[in-house]
Amino acid sequence: MISELNAQFGIQGELDFVEDGSGLILSRITNAHGSGTLCLQGAHLMSWQPVGQKAPVIWLSKDAKLAVGKSIRGGAPVCWPWFGAHATESAFPGHGFARTVPWRVIESGRDVGGETRLVLRLVASEKTLEQWPHACNLDLAITFGESLRMELTTENTGNEDFVIGEALHTYFQIGDISEVSVKGLEGCEYWDKVGGSNLKRQEGEIRFTGETDRVYINTASECVIRDDRLRRSIHVAKSGSLSTVVWTPWVEKANKMGDMGQPDGWREMLCVESANALDNQVKVAAGTRHTLIVEYRAVSY
């Protein structure tokens, strides 16, 4: 498998595939713009560090475990074909199954300007069809350049419309949660999931003083994470997405989760997730496709 992958999709000195001790396959990318790692299971971006940035832009828990069928704590989990708990089946996995099932490589290449591109497709199985009995393809195209671009495309190849919820549930590396703010969601309505689920409106920039778990709706805005400790801004631009989720577990929830990198790994991460969730779930009509796109850029100051 590894030798076939490298023969068919490897790019000398830029893109290769290796087997992790857990039996999962990782893709390693290095080019003039930076480096990254992606796990084929879940098409799960695990790391990205552009040249010129002292710290990675994507956070991965020190306790992250790679295991077949298990989600990885950190990186950019693909939440699909639902976001959060399944609407009716409590036994179905939270945030859908896409992040814990095999994906296969369908394309690799070098774009203009020396960017490296990789495209993966979710491998449907009896298990996925049990939970999602629809004819469709799910592809993730990821381009490693000065910025990081991800395109999540759902193609409805059947003859019935279906509705999806989705997110690129990205964990960003920050200096400390007390020294960051998020701009771009001013005036937006959001479902506040801490202490029930109430609809509120964002006033001003977002700062963090406790557990924060908010689904901002009806917003296509670019968000900027301003990080005064690392002296950089992370720009989260998107298209094909009308929800943005902002999440920090804070100390109690992080300790309960147990895989956030004790004692205070949670202080160095912030999720700003480009999604279509709750009010913004997407109907993908039969024979059509829908793409959610994000572009991440780190700018030092």
Residues near ligand TA6, by CB under 6 A: 71, 84, 94-95, 169, 193, 213, 245, 247, 271, 273
CB of 276 to ligand TA6, least distance (A): 13
Structure tokens given for 247 = 């999440």
Closer residue to ligand TA6 (CB): 44 or 95:
95
Closer residue to ligand TA6 (CB): 228 or 259:
259
- Residues annotated as catalytic (active site), given as ranges: 169, 273
Please give the Cα distance from 4 to 208 (Å, whole number): 47
CA torsion, ordered 161, 293, 8, 38, to nearest 10 deg: -110
Closer residue to ligand TA6 (CB): 105 or 223:
223
CB of 261 to ligand TA6, least distance (A): 14
Please give the Cα distance from 102 to 104 (Å, whole number): 7
CB of 253 to ligand TA6, least distance (A): 8
Handedness of CA 250, 196, 200, 236 (dihedral sign): positive
Give me the residue whose beta carbon is nearest to ligand TA6. Answer: 247
- Short-list 187, 162, 163, CA closest to 278: 163
CB of 190 to ligand TA6, least distance (A): 12
Tally DSSP H helices, then E strands, for the chain: 3, 22
Residue 11 near residue 108, CB atoms below 8 Å: yes
